[in-house]
A and B are shown apart, each in its own frame.
Chain A
Amino acid sequence: MPDLDPVFAGLPLTALADAALSRARDLGAQHADLRVERIVTQSVDLRDGRVTGVADDVTVGLAVRVIVDGVWGFASHGDLTPSRAAATAERAVAVARTLAPVAVERVERADEPVHVAEWVSAYDVDPFTVPTREKVELLTEWSHRLLASDGVDHVQAGVAQVRENKFYADLTGTRTTQQRVRISPTFTATSVDRGAGAFETMSTLAPPVGRGWEYLTGTGWDWDAELAQVPELLAEKTKSPSVQAGPYDLVIDPTNLWLTIHESVGHATEYDRAIGYEAAYAGSSFATPDLLGTLRYGSEHMHVTGDRTQPHGLATVGYDDDGVATSTFDLVRDGVLVGYQLDRTFAPRLGLERSNGCAFADSPHHVPIQRMANVSLQPDPVRDTSTAELIAGVERGIYVVGDKSWSIDMQRYNFQFTGQRFFRIENGELAGQLRDVAYQATTTDFWGSLDAVGGPSTWVLHGAMNCGKAQPGQVAAVSHGCPSARFRGVAVLNTQEEGS
């Protein structure tokens, strides 16, 4: 296991906890927790092989959350001193007391065993130990490789890196110290046809992951192969025909399907959304608690789990921001809604004794809310069906690869997605690329049309660094694993016709 960042380990964490928690208790808080966070980020961005920006940032702070007479209070500060921790606790209590007259409901929380633990995510090379010059040189070399290809006029490349340290302590005695590393390399090649007044782009399919710098040097992704492949695919795409709108059978690659899972299942099975906590902003969910156990979400091939334990998952962590030990749990089994993502406030509402560990705050200045676990579609447990075999079962269809545009309504019914690459399927075989494709569906219709999932060998972990939710807005990183999968009769739009 990699070592904890010595700067974080050297902070006066115990003194801060003692100061904040004792002051909160003295002021009448029934619950109090302290988080101390240090989040280090770096972004390196290049345009056409030249650096446009290198930016390093460190965010530190402490947050105190209290429950006073059943009402939440929260306050945070950037100063990491015991006196400031105590003062922040006072302010959190004041917030709770100020708002008590307008708080109708009183907070109840599920119990959780006391944990005293240290946890570090799985990675080999802390990206913050790699010289920036080395990163610039690698991205420059990638850019020049792409620019040297016929038909590539512009290239954007970059890498974002995060190291997140978090200390949690509460009045029950739980004290956890954790460290996570994640990384997101990107590149996009652009081809411009000035005469036709058109341009086309193609981006890497590589997902952001909970790995270190080793991810850019050969562990977990074959960059050389993709850099060699993209110019040719882009050139083919610029010459490909525009799709004819209509229903198609789709074989969707994990590089695209992860995002559909994220939007149509991940967010729809967040309990806070399902009971309206996000109704004014991110939205609610069609999958309401009264349908738990009965809602036919999709076909019998649909088995979706939530977890915060998958190695290299972006939502993976040892203990959540409620001090709960994380786990794996079912959300949709045999096509039926069977579970939700929860925090300690929501678990009792479902009659559960424990939370499944989905509380998260993206910064010391934000209150923890229920955030998304790694929500993943499971592969065929019986047969290791290949993507080619799924394609072979399609007479007229489209193979969809890579994510691009996405949009879904506030109850997670109606969605529309595009992609990076679309391949026509004719009589079970790929027959060249198509352009201007978007697929559009209602969630339960779409998942109901799932007629086969690929086997374990097609299962890949993808994800996003920037899932947004809550007010004030919070950003979370989350992964989604899935196999290739086949859907029958999905509506495909021609985006040129939509806009004309």
Chain B
Amino acid sequence: MRPQEIVERTLAAAAHLHGCAVVVQESSEAVLRWANSTMTTNGHTTSGRVTVIAMVAVEGGTAAGVVSSSVAVTDPAQLADLVRAAEASARDAGPAQDAMPLPDPSETDPTWDDPAAETSIGVYGTFAEGLAEVLAGPQRQYGFASHELATTWLGTSAGVRRRWVQPTGSVELNAKTPDLSGSAWVGASTADFTDVDVVDLAAQAARRLDWGKRKVTLPAGRYETLLPPSAVSDLMIYLAWSMEGRPAQEGRSALSGPDGTRVGERLTGLPLTLACDPAAPGLAYEPFLTTTRSGDGVSVFDNGAPTRRVDWVREGVIAELGWSRAEAAEFGTTFTPPGDNLLLTGGSDASLEEMAGRTGRGLLLTCLWYIRLVDPASLLLTGLTRDGVYLVEDGEVVGEVDHNFRFNHSPLDVLRSATEVGATERTLPREWKDWFTRAAMPPVRVPDFTMSSVSLGR
């Protein structure tokens, strides 16, 4: 059954309810993976899912129940079953705290009737040729390339009919010296792989392996540190995940202030802006909200609401927190939808290389790994450097630290203490790319990044 027909038949089956939203998703993904310079697990998958969100009038308000299924729809009776199950779930749940009327349609979607977009292993045509060349090279190569096209149709009983195709692609190259004593990483995000030059990426990794020919040993401590865009993105993503308004308002978040939230507090004198923007060139996401769960800052009752640019931090000042429409009404603030990209801007035009060139003595990182929250009150994170920590002296990389470091540092403190921020560029978050692939970040100089201990991991 066509997705559009699934939406209409489901809404018809739910006509007796207070409201209903239907989300149909079809996803197609082609992946390549390699290790020890040979291919390991590769594949092409196709999957689909129908989610029915039933809004039901119950004693004390309106309830919501969410039921989803990846079973292929061949019979309209399946859809009626889903509606019945979602309705029953809603009645069992009782009145929802986030109940609101579903948003009215804001515009007509000219692509509504279009089919699902589909990728294939063929998307790697030119890339695969380059990869063969890289795998035949002198370094040991490890890595992963993924391309997904996910098509979403959203229909609601309020009349919303929207379709969106989300391309998500990434490639990571981890090159190691033949004796495994050196390791370097480069990554890139892409919409279609036409802009990925894997041979060039491998050359970048090889350059870093060359830096590692001279090894230095450094103790744990606080170092002036150059965080490259990937490392900055993984730290800022954690901050973005902490921007929900309700926990801040209720005193249980790092964004809580003495009398409410910390909106309005200046973090830095640098004009830095941390934002999500559905219209960001090359990093676009759905211009309308689609969600199959409610929680802090997000509500199933908001399905179909327009998304918008949100400045979490604007010109160095905490500016907005995430609020569903119901929370916005409860706390007297503005509906602030979540986003699916993250942009940090406001730095200079300097590249990472130029910033390294101005460094007297400091560490140049490659990326961060295994980042976890230690203290939610301060947003203290721990994690490790990975695949290359380089010592910069008098503007030159003079060698690679022969180990990694465990760090303990808060992304709030990264913004507070940054002394230099460079040019924003599209980057791939090493750790969180599976959940947050679309990011544009600058390199950042932090004068006192806390390297808590030495890790022997390479």
Contacts and interface: CB of A to CB of B under 8 A. Distances in A.
A101 B251 contact: no
Contacts of B143: 280
B111 interface: no
A484 to B, nearest CB: 24
B174 A76 contact: no
B40 A91 contact: no
Given A102-B132, A471-B146, A499-B378, A414 B406 contact: yes
A192 B176 CA distance: 48
B149 to A, nearest CB: 14
Interface residues of A, number: 91
B93 A471 contact: no
B42 A407 contact: no
A286 B49 CA distance: 41
Nearest to A277: B35
Contacts of B65: 54, 56
B66 A55 contact: yes
A471 B457 contact: no
Interface in A58-99: 58-61, 71-80, 91-92, 94-95, 98-99
A162 to B, nearest CB: 14
B110 interface: no
Contact of B69 (A57, A101, A409): A57
Contacts of A101: 132
Contacts of B119: none
A457 interface: no
Interface string B39-81: 1111111111100000000000001111111111000000000
Contacts of B434: 471-473
B89 interface: yes
A147 to B, nearest CB: 13
Interface string B286-329: 00000011110000100000000000000000000000000000
Contact of A52 (B43, B294, B408): B294
A131 B93 CA distance: 11
A198 B377 contact: yes
Given A52-B294, A405-B382, A76 B45 contact: yes
A142 to B, nearest CB: 15
A383 interface: no
Interface stretch (A16-24, A325-333, A490-498): A490-498
B121 A95 contact: yes
B97 A55 contact: no
Interface residues of B, number: 98
A409 B35 contact: no
Contact of A78 (B47, B90, B98, B372): B47
Contacts of B89: 54, 56, 132
B44 A91 contact: yes
Nearest to A196: B258
Contacts, number: 271
A277 B174 CA distance: 11
Interface string B345-379: 00000000000000000000000011111111110
Contact of A76 (B46, B68, B93, B144): B46
A71 B377 CA distance: 50
Given A52-B295, A75-B43, A280-B143, A409 B369 contact: yes
A499 B375 contact: yes
Contacts of B398: none
Given A276-B35, A405-B373, A410-B457, A59 B70 contact: yes
B73 to A, nearest CB: 10
B293 A197 contact: no
Nearest to A345: B40
Interface in B1-52: 29, 31-49
Given A104-B37, A471-B146, A499-B375, A58 B128 contact: no
Contacts of A76: 43, 45-47
Interface string A439-455: 01010000000000000
B262 to A, nearest CB: 10
A425 interface: no
B406 A409 contact: yes
Nearest to A46: B93
A471 B434 CA distance: 9
Contacts of A491: 453
B453 A414 contact: yes
A221 interface: no
Contacts of B210: none
A133 interface: yes
B409 interface: yes
B450 A498 contact: yes
B250 A365 contact: no
B270 interface: no
A282 B294 CA distance: 30
A79 B72 contact: yes
B452 interface: yes
Contact of B370 (A58, A198, A276, A409): A409
B32 A99 contact: yes
Contacts of A498: 374, 380, 408, 450, 452
Contacts of B183: 279
Contacts of A283: 369, 457
Most A CB within 10 A of own CB, among B49, B92, B174, B176: B92
B144 A281 contact: yes
Contacts of B380: 495, 498-499
Most B CB within 10 A of own CB, among A76, A92, A279, A406: A279
Contact of A51 (B96, B251, B373): B96
B426 interface: no
Contact of A53 (B39, B293, B371, B378): B293
Nearest to A200: B377
Nearest to B454: A414
A40 to B, nearest CB: 10
B256 interface: yes
B38 A103 contact: yes
A190 interface: yes
A52 B97 contact: yes
A410 B97 contact: no
B180 to A, nearest CB: 8
B453 A499 contact: no
Contact of B408 (A279, A410, A472, A499): A499
B66 A58 contact: no
B232 interface: no
Interface string A414-437: 101010000000000000000010
A130 B203 CA distance: 58
B131 interface: yes
B146 A53 contact: no
A154 interface: yes
A46 to B, nearest CB: 9
Contacts of A79: 72
B458 interface: yes
Interface in A270-326: 275-281, 283, 286
A55 B292 contact: yes
A286 B457 contact: yes
24 contacts: A53-B93, A55-B292, A56-B66, A56-B67, A58-B70, A74-B41, A77-B46, A78-B46, A78-B47, A102-B135, A154-B252, A193-B251, A197-B258, A279-B183, A280-B173, A409-B370, A410-B369, A410-B457, A411-B456, A414-B406, A414-B455, A414-B456, A491-B453, A499-B378
Interface of B: 29, 31-49, 63-72, 85, 88-94, 96-98, 121, 128, 131-132, 135, 140, 142-144, 146, 172-174, 176, 183, 185, 250-252, 256-258, 292-295, 300, 369-378, 380, 382-384, 386, 404, 406, 408-410, 413, 434, 450, 452-458
Interface of A: 44-45, 47, 50-61, 71-80, 91-92, 94-95, 98-99, 101-105, 131-133, 135-136, 153-154, 190, 192-195, 197-199, 201, 275-281, 283, 286, 365-367, 369, 405-414, 416, 418, 436, 438, 440, 442, 470-473, 491, 493, 495-496, 498-499
Given A365-B29, A414-B457, 5 more contacts: A74-B43, A103-B38, A136-B92, A280-B174, A491-B453
